[in-house]
Amino acid sequence: MLKNTMMSGPKCPSCGDKKMITDQNTGELFCSKCGIVVTDKISDTGAEWRSFSNDEGNKARTGAGTSLKMHDMGLSTVIGAANKDATGKPLSTSMKSSIERLRTWDSRSQAHSSADRNLRQALNEMDKLKDKLALTDSVIEKAAYIYRKAMEKKLVRGRSIQGLVAACLYASCRNTETPRTLDDIAKGINIRRKDVARCYRLIFRELELKMPVVDPVKGVSRIASIAELSEKSKRKATAILNQAKEMGVVAGKDPMGIAAAALYLACISTGEVKSQKEISIASGVTEVTIRNRCAGLRQMLKDE
């Protein structure tokens, strides 16, 4: 098989032409003009794919990538779920039951100590919450990393797995600036908000986590989506918040509270009819908080 290549490096030593031809069968590189063989030992630059199945289209060079979301980081082997042999034929009934027993023992053998079992259960909980709270892979990966650090510091012993999982997820959301409140995570995992907050304070203190200041603008689209507000109101609320950030009004305030207040003021400005109660339900903050934050934002808009 011959392949034309334009060499960006050395020219033909005989005629100086740059156009070379590669013979991939013999490993020779020769000049297309005068035919001189430049080298007879070139390395194969093609893909090193191999297929061990009947499906030749399903070629892979490597296995699955490693991930902190898996208790063994994806480094162990597993017995596949398909009850078929190497040729694709279904297994007999007796063989199926034998393979099922092997799968069970293989699964049990991968978690020897209680710490391994604890980690496995915690990561399974995180995987369930990923879909429930519509979280991305990067958030779960970060939460798994924080949980592993908590295990190294022996913070897990004597504490609820669900509480620590929820705290790690909340810390991960804060770290990646994903707009999820303590209430969202507590409802998702079905435990009290107080328990999540207690575990979060513990890991924050013991692991010395550094959290970025949450931008209230990130909460606007989420609240507007739940409350079914128009794009015009969303843009107006974003403009109000950007102005408030420049004047230092948002410092030290609850991000969701100030985002809800900005949306309420934006609705009044655009003529969209939405009550404080509707925005309160969508944002998860009380009507009193919205009124208090509105007072501060109104004062800022007046002073301008």
Are 200 and 255 in a shared domain? Answer: no
Are 175 and 220 in a shared domain? Answer: no
Residue 11 lies in a domain: no
Residue 6 lies in a domain: no
Are 256 and 175 in a shared domain? Answer: no
In this predicted structure, what is the pLDDT of residue 302? 73
In this predicted structure, what is the pLDDT of residue 48? 53
Residue 167 CB coordination number (10 Å)? 29
Q: Residue 261 pLDDT > 80, yes or no? A: yes
Are 190 and 148 in a shared domain? Answer: yes
**Rounded CA separation 264/71 (Å):** 45
Residue 18 lies in a domain: no
Q: Residue 55 pLDDT > 60, yes or no? A: no
Are 265 and 185 in a shared domain? Answer: no
Q: Of 189, 207, 225, which marks where a domain is finished?
A: 207
Q: Residue 53 pLDDT > 80, yes or no? A: no
Give the range of the structural domain holding residue 284, as residue numbers without chain letter: 216-301
In this predicted structure, what is the pLDDT of residue 166? 92
Neighbouring-strand partners of residue 30? 21, 37
In this predicted structure, what is the pLDDT of residue 251? 75
**Rounded CA separation 119/199 (Å):** 17
Are 153 and 183 in a shared domain? Answer: yes
Crossing angle of helices 287-303/255-270, nearest 10°?
A: 60
Give the residue numbers of the binding site for Zn(2+).
12, 15, 31, 34
Sequence-distant (6+) residues with CB within 8 A of 68 are 141, 144, 145, 148
Give the residue numbers of the binding site.
12, 15, 31, 34
pLDDT classification of 58: cutoffs 50, 70, 90: low
Are 196 and 223 in a shared domain? Answer: no
What's the length of the chain? 304
In this predicted structure, what is the pLDDT of residue 168? 92
Burial of 232 (0-12, 13-18, 19+ CB in 10 A): middle
Tens-digit pLDDT profile for residues 91-142: 888 888 888 888 888 776 666 677 777 888 888 888 888 888 888 888 888 9
Residue 19 lies in a domain: no
More confident residue, 154 or 54: 154
CATH number, domain of 194, equals: 1.10.472.10
CA distances from 275 to 227, 268, 291 (A): 10, 10, 12
Are 162 and 197 in a shared domain? Answer: yes
For the chain, the domain total comes to 2
- Inter-residue contact 21 to 5 (CB < 8 Å): yes
The whole-number average pLDDT for the span 276-300 is: 86
Residue 162 lies in a domain: yes
In this predicted structure, what is the pLDDT of residue 4? 57
Tens-digit pLDDT profile for residues 172-195: 988 888 878 888 888 888 889 899
- Inter-residue contact 157 to 206 (CB < 8 Å): no
In this predicted structure, what is the pLDDT of residue 257? 86
Are 248 and 181 in a shared domain? Answer: no
SS3 call for 245: helix
pLDDT classification of 73: cutoffs 50, 70, 90: low
Neighbouring-strand partners of residue 6? 19
Are 256 and 198 in a shared domain? Answer: no
Q: Of 174, 207, 240, which marks where a domain is finished?
A: 207
Residue 104 lies in a domain: no
The whole-number average pLDDT for the span 224-248 is: 86
Residue 272 lies in a domain: yes
**Rounded CA separation 193/284 (Å):** 13
Residue 140 lies in a domain: yes
The whole-number average pLDDT for the span 154-168 is: 88
Q: Of 144, 172, 207, which marks where a domain is finished?
A: 207
Least confident of 109-118, 141-150, 226-235: 109-118
**Rounded CA separation 71/125 (Å):** 12
Please count the CA atoms within 13 angstroms of the CA of 210 that sit on its side-chain side: 0
Are 133 and 152 in a shared domain? Answer: yes
In this predicted structure, what is the pLDDT of residue 169? 92
Are 227 and 290 in a shared domain? Answer: yes
pTM, rounded to two decimals: 0.60
In this predicted structure, what is the pLDDT of residue 44? 60
More confident residue, 108 or 296: 296
The whole-number average pLDDT for the span 156-181 is: 87
**Rounded CA separation 235/227 (Å):** 15
